[in-house]
Chain A
Amino acid sequence: MLWNLVIKEIREMLTLSTMATILIVTVIFAAMGGLVNLTKGETTKKPVIAVLNLEKPEAALAKTAVSTLREHCEILYEGRDDSEALRRLRAHARGVALVEIPEGFDARLENSQKVKIGVTWIMRGAGTLDTISSAVMERHFTAMERAVSRELVRRRSAGLDEKTAANVVQPIERVENTFFKEKLIPMLSPARIAQVLAAQSITVPIVMMIILMLGGSVVVSSMGLEKENKTLETLLTLPVDRRTLVLGKLLGSAVVGLIMAAVFAVGFRYYLQNFEAPAESLVALGLDLGPGDYLLVVISLFASLLFGLAFSLLLGVLARDYKSAQMLTYALLVLAIFPMMVVMLKDFDTVPKALQIVLFAIPFSHPMMAMRQLALENTAFVLWGILYGLLASAALTAMVVRVFRSEILITGFARRARQNHD
């Protein structure tokens, strides 16, 4: 009986057009991930530049400047012909900048005068990703300046070795340790730790929200379709317990929602992995999760999903048709987005007490927070969250069964009931 209902839900909701939509969105995310990956590749490749060297060939400081640039960049042209330099640079697909070392470069530096080197950028687009190469070049210019400064220091202090000269140019270096919750993490800044934990703070909440949204919208739509297609009355007069009807709808929608979410999550994961630190960093930090932890995350997700589906079914009862059902999914969206935003920006422990209560009360928050809490060995928090999620789901499901046993599904609310009856 239950399986019959589940299969019907899957057949009704998992249509080719629904899957095609999800697949298209998945491909778009994967393509965006590919684009980001491509740009990341650009940052690791040597930028292509041309050097217009107007200084004498024997000038040592100019030589140091050019050789430092050569270490970090691919020099397409080095000479005195500016139009040839520009022509070659513009013809190259990755040409970034024309660097001009002026005449008298060494002499001015030796006389403690400032030297202006000219940089003519080749700007190929105004997008954020288009300007990455110029940002990379900034680092190489700093390296060039330091190399020239070291050389100058060595010249002025006879007998100074290269290492000491480097220390004079850059006398201070930071060694960062971070005390995070109960753990002292050596050699890392909070920003770097946050980057390592990006999987917990960004990926999990977003994927969780996607699962909830897709699963929830399937349930709400299923109820909306039952009403729009006038199949609900028939369903309610079949010799089947109303609990089984509710369970069939929940399970069927959960299966469809999970299939859709799994397809979507693949694309989204591919997109996000470009921003994350590798998993071994978590091991190095002592923040990695064991199999038992992952099991708790799955149980937490299950409890939360169950609540989301029951909540959606309750929303579906209010829907008049498919269109209004779609509108009602916004209520679910708000409940899922709120904890997602908070968890992405702050830790549970660092938000004000009132917000902690709200966050704990929304069952969707718990799987979003579970991974990080488990990484910090706060297992009790996760267990309480699971217990709360399961109790809330049971209470809500009982409420839905009660509604299914009442006549509200047929009459709606009083205003509509007057129009409905004959």
Chain B
Amino acid sequence: MSESSPILLDLHDVSKRFARRQAVSGISLSIRENEIFGLVGPNGAGKTTTLRMVATLLKPDSGRITLCGVDAIARPDEVRRFLSYLPEDAGVYRNLTGRQYLRFIARFFGDARQAEEIAKFGAHLSGLEARLDDRVSTYSKGMTRKLVIARALMAQPKLAILDEPASGLDLISALAVRERIREAAAHGSVLLSSHNLFEVETLCHRVALVHEGRIAACGTPAELRQDTGTDSLEKAFLALLDRRRT
């Protein structure tokens, strides 16, 4: 990814309100091709709402979202061809086997032959080959997470939207997932949200701190560290929050 890479996703002044609470207030950001972009922020800051709006699950009250040059609000069906969304607590159909699940999803991204290739790639990404013919209901939480991450990345989407991708994974599995995310960025972009700031710092090209529905700061991890005079993203995050509160 370079500064000159074309913009893949563009959010302009996007807002969303639920009942009496403003969840997102005028967020604007752009993600370039092959960029890994992180959203960080305290609980309830508006990260998941932002991801859901990009994933076409929620409609913004105002603003504009463009993915691959297509208006995501006006033409959500078209935009879904370019993206893949992994919710934080994503589940699977418990009566299917892991392989059946991957094949079921793969079938939406190509004809029978292409789907088989995609599912095979998914099986490889999951690292669960030995257990893929078992019912998902017999999987541990970590195994299920590996399966859904593989599902999200196997079709090589233009934009992978990942909410807490490595949550619930042990250290070795988390490292493997980070590697998969880096590989995914080779042929698309990644928008992720995470509370693990070490993960964000090591993975993301740029990071936005979301606070009370707004972007409080945005930049590369190095820029954010420099701006706050700290030596880690974690400390930068705390300093930025303090600055917002005062």
If A11-B100, A410-B57, A411-B58 touch, whether A237 touches B83 (CB-CB below 8 Å) is: yes
Interface residues of B in 20-57 (CB under 8 A from A): 20-21, 23, 43-49, 52, 55-57
Interface flag for A164 (CB, 8 Å): no
Which residues in B have their C-beta under 8 angstroms from that of A353?
Answer: none
Interface-forming stretch among A24-32, A269-277, A282-290, A413-421? A413-421
Quick one: closest B residue to A228, CB to CB?
B91
CA of A247 to CA of B8 in the docked complex: distance in angstroms?
33
Write the A1-40 contact mask toward B (1 if CB under 8 angstroms, else 0).
1001001100111010000000000000000000000000
Q: Which residues of A contact B100 (CB under 8 A)?
A: 11
- Residue of B44, B83, B89, B96 near A230 (CB, 8 A) is B89
Look across to chain A and name the residue whose beta carbon is closest to the beta carbon of B80.
A239
Decide if B47 touches A422 in the complex (CB within 8 Å): yes
A240 touches B93 (CB 8 A): no
Report if A8-B93 is in contact (Cβ < 8 Å); known contacts: A417-B19, A418-B19, A422-B46: yes
A229 at the interface (CB under 8 A from B): yes
Inter-subunit contact B104/A4 (CB<8 Å): yes
Decide: A234 and B104 in contact? CB cutoff 8 A. Answer: no
- Whether B90 and A230, one on each chain, are in contact in the complex, defined by CB atoms closer than 8 angstroms, is yes
Q: How many A-B residue pairs have CB under 8 A?
A: 100
Chain A contact residue count (CB 8 A cutoff): 32
B105 at interface, CB cutoff 8 A: yes
**Most central of B59, B85, B93, B94 by chain A CB within 10 Å:** B93
List residues of A (68-127) whose CB comes within 8 Å of B's CBs: none
| Any B CB within 8 A of the CB of A191 | no
The CA-CA distance from A12 to B93 in the complex, in Å, is: 7
Chain A residues positioned under 8 Å from B104 (CB to CB): 4, 7-8
**Least CB separation from B105: chain A residue:** A238
Within 8 A of A (CB), among B107-125: 107-109
Q: What does the 1/0 interface line of B71-111 toward A look like (CB < 8 Å)?
A: 00000010011011111011111111000100011011100
A344 interface residue (CB < 8 Å to B): no
CB distance from A412 to the nearest CB of B (A): 10
CB of B211 within 8 Å of the partner chain: no
Asked if A229 contacts B91 (CB within 8 A), the reply is yes
A376 to B109 Cα, complex, angstroms: 54
Partner of A234, one of B90, B95, B107: B90
Q: Would B107 and A237 count as touching, CB distance under 8 A?
A: no
Chain B residue nearest to A422 (CB atoms) is: B48
Q: Which of A11, A236, A421 contacts B18 (CB 8 A)?
A: A421
Minimum CB distance partner of B148 in chain A: A234
> Which residues of A are found within 8 Å of B105, using beta-carbon distances?
234, 238
B206 within 8 A of A: no
**Most chain-B Cβ atoms within 10 A of its Cβ — which of A229, A414, A418, A422?**
A422
Q: In whole angstroms, what is the CA distance A188 to B48 when docked?
A: 73
Residue of B nearest to A417 (CB): B18
- A324 is an interface residue with CB less than 8 A from chain B: no
A239 to B43, CA, bound (A): 30
Chain B residue with Cβ nearest A414: B19
* Complex Cα spacing A230 to B168, Å: 16
Cβ contacts A158-180/B at 8 Å (1 or 0 each) = 00000000000000000000000
Contact yes or no, A230 B43, CB < 8 A: no
Q: Is there an interface contact between A11 and B95, defined as CB atoms closer than 8 Å? A: yes
Residue on B nearest A237 in the bound complex, by CB: B85
CB nearest to A5 among chain B residues = B104
The chain A residue sitting closest to B136, CB to CB, is: A229
> Which residues in B have their C-beta under 8 angstroms from that of A417?
18-19
What's the Cα separation between A386 and B208 when bound, in Å?
A: 58
Give Cα A4 to B81, complex, Å. Answer: 17
Q: Specify which chain B residues have a CB less than 8 angstroms from the CB of A230 in the assembled complex.
A: 87, 89-91
Among B45, B77, B93, contact of A422 (Cβ-Cβ < 8 Å): B45
User: Nearest Cβ in chain B — how far from A403, in angstroms?
Assistant: 14
Of the residues B45, B91, B108, contact of A240 by C-beta under 8 Å: B108
Are A4 and B85 within 8 A (Cβ)? Answer: no
Interface hub of A228, A417, A421 (most chain B Cβ within 10 A): A421
- B48 touches which one: A15, A237, A421 (CB < 8 A)? A421
How far is B107's CA from A236's CA once the two chains are assembled, in angstroms?
A: 15
Chain B CB within 8 A of A58 CB:
no
Q: Report the minimum CB–CB distance from B70 to chain A (whole Å).
A: 12
CA distance A15 to B135 in the complex (A): 12
Residue of A nearest to B43 (CB): A422
A237 to B53, CA, bound (A): 11
**How far, in whole Å, are A84 and B58 apart by their CA atoms in the complex?**
89
Q: When the two chains form their complex, are residues A237 and B92 in contact, meaning their CB atoms are under 8 A apart? A: no
> Are A231 and B80 also in contact (CB < 8 A) when A238-B108, A418-B21, A422-B43 are?
no
Give every chain B residue within 8 A of A229 (Cβ-Cβ).
91-94
A234 CA to B94 CA in the complex, in Å? 14
12 A-B pairs in the complex with CB atoms less than 8 angstroms apart: A4-B104, A4-B107, A11-B93, A229-B91, A230-B89, A234-B87, A237-B84, A238-B105, A407-B59, A410-B58, A417-B18, A421-B21
Closest 4 CB pairs of A and B: A422-B48, A230-B91, A229-B91, A237-B85
Binding site for A on B (CB under 8 A): 18-21, 23, 43-49, 52, 55-59, 77, 80-81, 83-87, 89-96, 100, 104-105, 107-109, 148, 151
Q: A230-B91, A418-B20 are in contact. List 18 more A-B contacts (CB 8 A).
A: A11-B93, A11-B100, A13-B95, A229-B91, A231-B90, A231-B93, A233-B90, A234-B85, A237-B83, A239-B81, A242-B77, A411-B18, A418-B18, A418-B19, A421-B21, A421-B49, A422-B44, A422-B46
